[in-house]
Amino acid sequence: MTLREGTIGSRYEIIEIRLEDKVKRRLQMLGLTKGTAVWVLNNKKSGSVIMKVRGTRFAAGRRIAEGILVEEGSYEQ
């Protein structure tokens, strides 16, 4: 599933980022890497997603949120 499809208040693990290299590298520099836990804080109707990653809140637009593949699971904070 993609991060865009995530449920508010749920935790997920990033399994893959399917975006162009420039965007992918930028997300990796911000800490969004394979295996990282992500909490979905808000999922807007416009397609943007607000998430918490490693203690920092991020917002991603629809295109980026749809390029981040995640899986459900329980992770320690």
Convert the pLDDT of each residue in 12-68 to its tens digit: 999 999 999 999 999 999 999 999 999 999 998 888 999 999 999 999 999 999 999
Q: Which domains does the chain have, with CATH numbers?
A: 3-72 (2.30.30.90)
pLDDT for residue 46: 85
Comparison of pLDDT for 29 and 75, the residue scoring more: 29
Mean pLDDT of 1-21: 94
pTM of this structure = 0.86
pLDDT for residue 74: 56
Give the separation between CA 71 and CA 76, rounded to whole angstroms.
15
List all residues 6 or more positions away from 38 whose beta carbon is below 8 Å from its beta carbon.
3, 6, 11, 12, 13, 14, 32, 51, 52, 53, 68, 70
